[in-house]
């Protein structure tokens, strides 16, 4: 019995070791996302009825001076902001009967009575705040800890690897990868890791002269810093301390912010690249994870230290931001798609059309959720 209690409630048990870190990561990401909707909505003069972290029965809450109900609910797997005039799950244009239920004052601040640009700004603010969160996290980490970088040198070439077949040699220095200049070995890894099966052009500096070669990265299973098995595209080159000359780069606050913006941009680019390749079947389905995998990663990150957990917050925040921008109702991107159509045709999309799109989109989202759950539990 004591072993069961320790495994459940101990410092490394399920509750404190996995569930609490997972809820911390998810709550921070969701709170920031919904706060983006809330703040921009308020700045646009839209009334807010409720700001909720979680779903289901309310556990605790309070009303602010603007009449917004701030609450924490029993199922902490998401959140929402409910604006004045939100009558249904699709957030579509209310019917005449629904509008009759609003007072004159409520109509003035109702979400659906606002110009399309205000509605679009309010919706897109959620994902944008997710990206801002990632930038802030990286800026703080870079400012506090700096980061280690290595010169883009080749110390070893694996026999029979794509690099060996392309003629890359020990002592070569990477100048560019597919036209992108590189300054560190991490730059090379970033530009190669998501390109399995693609022929990539490399410009190498050898004996003072530039040499151009072409190599096609291949997938290799590796273990990441959290101990997860991941498949990464590699060309088979190794960097070492002698040639790489690793050094710690420190940043001023402004420099840390610039580096954080660049790093966030790289993550967004890599995530978008992965999704496009995944859709056409060029990525391993096991690279996609759902709540179970995220919880496992949160537990492992917490064991390594708080800064690792914060980095996971930053990475998950980008993923949530990109996911919500997909043009699928009921995601934020689906609403933005309808607002774009409305701006072009100069009238709201019909309620019937929105309802049909919402149902189809909801089935697609639920199917995706089921797929990642299956991956987490049985598929991988």
Residues marked active site are found at: 34
Q: Residue 324: which residues within 8 A CB-CB, separation 6 or more?
A: 33, 126, 127, 130, 331, 332, 333
CA atoms within 13 A on the CB side of 54: 15
At 264 the three-state DSSP class reads: helix
Residue 268 to residue 283: CA distance in whole angstroms: 17
DSSP annotation of 236 reads S
* Interacting residues of 366 by C-beta distance below 8 A, sequence separation 6+: none
Residue-level length of the chain: 380
Angle at Cα 303 formed by Cα 2 and Cα 316, nearest 5°?
120
How many CB atoms lie under 10 A from the CB of residue 161?
20
Tokens representing 4 are: 């069961």
Contact 274, 280 (CB under 8 A): no
Residue 105 phi, psi dihedral angles, 5° rounding: -65, -40
d(CA 46, CA 85): 10
Cis peptide before 237 (omega within 30 of 0): no
Q: Are 121 and 340 in contact (CB under 8 A)?
A: no
Phi, psi of 241 (to 5 degrees): -65, -40
Kindly report the number of other CB atoms within 10 A of residue 282's CB atom.
Answer: 14
CB atoms within 10 A of CB 278: 14
| Helix residue spans in the chain (DSSP H) | 2-9, 14, 20-43, 96-100, 104-109, 116-145, 162-166, 185-192, 241-244, 253-279, 291-304, 306-325, 332-345, 351-374
- Burial label, 346 (beta-carbon count in 10 A; 0-12, 13-18, 19+): exposed
Q: Which residues pair with 218 in a beta bridge?
A: 234
């Amino acid at each position: 019995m004591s072993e069961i209690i320790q495994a459940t409630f101990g410092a490394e048990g399920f509750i404190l070791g996995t569930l609490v870190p997972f809820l911390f990561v998810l709550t921070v990401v969701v709170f920031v996302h919904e706060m983006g909707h809330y703040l921009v909505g308020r700045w646009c003069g839209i009334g807010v009825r409720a700001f909720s972290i979680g779903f289901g029965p309310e556990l605790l809450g309070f009303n602010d001076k603007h009449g917004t109900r701030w609450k924490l609910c029993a199922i902490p797997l998401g959140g929402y902001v409910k604006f004045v005039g939100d009558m249904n799950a699709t957030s579509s244009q209310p019917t005449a009967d629904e509008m009759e239920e609003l007072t004159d004052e409520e109509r003035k601040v109702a979400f659906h009575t606002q110009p399309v640009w205000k509605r679009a700004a309010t919706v897109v603010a959620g994902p944008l705040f997710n990206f801002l969160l990632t930038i802030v996290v990286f800026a703080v980490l870079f400012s506090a800890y700096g980061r280690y970088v290595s010169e883009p040198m080749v110390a070893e070439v694996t026999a029979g690897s794509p690099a060996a077949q392309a003629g890359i040699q020990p002592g070569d220095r990477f100048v560019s990868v597919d036209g992108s200049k590189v300054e560190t070995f991490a730059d090379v890894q970033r530009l190669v890791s998501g390109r399995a099966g693609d022929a990539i052009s490399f410009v190498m500096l050898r004996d003072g002269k530039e040499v151009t070669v072409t190599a096609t990265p291949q997938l290799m299973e590796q273990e990441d810093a959290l101990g997860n098995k991941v498949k990464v595209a590699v060309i088979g080159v190794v960097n070492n301390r002698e040639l790489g000359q690793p050094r710690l780069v420190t940043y001023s606050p402004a420099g840390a912010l610039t580096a954080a913006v660049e790093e966030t941009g790289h993550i967004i680019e890599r995530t978008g690249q992965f999704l496009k390749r995944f859709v056409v079947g060029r990525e391993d389905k096991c690279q996609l994870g759902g709540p179970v995998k995220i919880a496992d990663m949160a537990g492992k990150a917490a064991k390594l230290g708080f800064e690792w957990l914060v980095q996971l917050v930053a990475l998950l925040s980008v993923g949530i931001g990109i996911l919500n921008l997909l043009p699928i109702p009921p995601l934020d991107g689906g609403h933005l798609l309808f607002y774009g159509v409305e701006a072009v045709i100069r009238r709201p999309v019909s309620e019937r059309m929105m309802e049909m799109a919402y149902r189809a989109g909801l089935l697609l989202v639920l199917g995706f959720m089921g797929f990642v759950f299956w991956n987490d539990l049985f598929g991988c």
